[in-house]
Amino acid sequence: MLKEGELRIPSGCAISGIIDKEGKKFNGDEIIKSIALMHDRSNGLGGGFAAYGIYPQYKDFYALHIFYDNLSIKVQTEDFISKHFDIEIAGNIPTKPVPGVKNKPLIWRYFVHPRNYMIKEGFVDEAEFTSRYIIKINKEYKGAYVFSSGKNMGTFKGVGYPEDIGKFFMLDTYEGYMWMAHGRFPTNTPGWWGGAHPFTMLDWSVVHNGEISSYDANRRFVEMYGYKCTLQTDTEVITYLFDMLVRKHNIPMEKAIKAVAAPFWEDIERENKEVQSELKSIRSVYASALINGPFSIILGFEKGMIALNDRIKLRSLVAAEKGSRTYVASEESAIRIICDNPHKIWSPQGGG
């Protein structure tokens, strides 16, 4: 018979994030060390990282990171990209052999800018133009997957344990002011390169521990606004929800959070009339944006990082601060291994 402590059943997946609020840059060693500590939360079917501030020399260009299944689809996709974007520079993303990372696709990177005359003809801004064509590639070009598309940021992910993925992409050679990481333990979706976290759209990136039971309602909602979920993982829809609410609908981030992790009706009734009215409006208008199910999320974007728990805290999430750094992770130990004696450490409340 097993004794207490000899059997560990983790609550699936590991997430970790670090941001320097003064914009000081550091390489990927710390985030790899943090996520590696939570090795047993993963099963080797997905790991990934997002890093911000890593492309200062190309900060005005969208950095498209793309997986290709073969050379034929690469040629077709590049032809499509060149018709709609000016390509400043392109090349394969540097990697090195790692025993735990196998069957890699072709992995390429393009620094691009939408063609100005096409933006004007479409009566959209460059972000909307870029997002539409990213969705089009992922939807219509079978075997090509744009897995990162922001400015001065990039996502690096694949099939393997996260510490192996970090070594594979040589993240110690990149420097950024914000890093996020994910170790995957898929339960009802396939483990494949495009399905690893983070999921991104423009400068938004999301890592997630949990399960979205409201996925179909959320998916139908975002697809009404032109998005298409193609990467076979429920987390993808979270990224599109925030992109839609904040970028497209111009809702302040605080209100977008109240839409996806809305307070319970009984809690709303305890607020004053003005707050009640606002929260009821958000819940009514964006009912289909409400995320149900157990989750802890780290959301990265150009202006910072947000960590969010489900409303009844069914997934673990810990935060800490020291100096100009803020840390979040699934486990306190994953913070303490890279941050000695944090000035403040706490566990956010459900829905907080």
Average pLDDT for the chain: 91
Span 230-258, mean pLDDT?
91
d(CA 238, CA 134): 17
Region label for 16, one of left (φ > 0), alpha (ψ between -120 and 50) or beta (otherwise): beta
**pLDDT > 90: percent of the chain:** 70
Span 11-15, mean pLDDT?
79
Residue 276 included in any domain = no
C-beta atoms surrounding 93 within 10 Å: 17
Residue 341 included in any domain = yes
Band (248; pLDDT cuts 50, 70, 90) = very high
* pLDDT: which is higher, 84 or 44: 84
Does 198 sit behind a cis peptide bond, omega within 30 degrees of 0 on the bond before it?
yes
d(CA 133, CA 85): 10
**Highest averaged pLDDT of the listed ranges 23-32, 186-195, 203-212, 272-281:** 23-32
pLDDT at 331 (0 to 100): 93
Span 160-178, mean pLDDT?
97
Residue 73 included in any domain = yes
Query: For the ranges 50-54, 187-191, 348-352, which has the lowest average pLDDT?
Result: 187-191
**243 secondary structure, DSSP code:** I
Residue 278 included in any domain = no
Band (98; pLDDT cuts 50, 70, 90) = very high
Query: For the ranges 181-190, 225-234, 249-258, which has the lowest average pLDDT?
Result: 181-190
pLDDT for residue 5 is more than 50: no
pLDDT for residue 127 is more than 90: yes
Residue 323 lies in domain: 14-210+234-241+296-346
Residue 180 included in any domain = yes
Radius of gyration of the chain (CA): 20
pLDDT at 42 (0 to 100): 86
Q: Please check whether residue 283 is in contact with residue 194, taking contact to mean a CB–CB distance below 8 angstroms.
A: no
Q: Please check whether residue 185 is in contact with residue 152, taking contact to mean a CB–CB distance below 8 angstroms.
A: no
Residue 351 included in any domain = no
pLDDT for residue 11 is more than 60: no
Residue 283 included in any domain = no
- Is 0.85 topped by the overall pTM? yes
Band (1; pLDDT cuts 50, 70, 90) = very low
Residue 41 included in any domain = yes
Q: What angle do CA 32, 35, 39 make, to 5 degrees?
A: 120
Catalytic residue list contains 339: no
pLDDT at 126 (0 to 100): 96
Q: Please check whether residue 283 is in contact with residue 304, taking contact to mean a CB–CB distance below 8 angstroms.
A: no
d(CA 79, CA 81): 6
pLDDT at 188 (0 to 100): 65
Span 76-91, mean pLDDT?
97
3-state secondary structure of 24: coil
DSSP letters spanning 57-105: GGTTSEEEEEEESSHHHHHHHHHHHHHHEEEEEEEEPP----TT--S--
Choose the catalytic residue: 8, 9, 12, 13. Answer: 13
**Number of domains present in the structure of the chain:** 1
pLDDT for residue 190 is more than 80: no
- Spatial strand order of the sheet with 153-158 comes to 153-158, 47-52, 178-183, 14-20, 325-329, 318-322, 344-346
3-state secondary structure of 281: helix
pLDDT for residue 2 is more than 70: no
Query: For the ranges 6-20, 27-41, 163-177, 178-192, which has the lowest average pLDDT?
Result: 6-20
d(CA 121, CA 86): 16
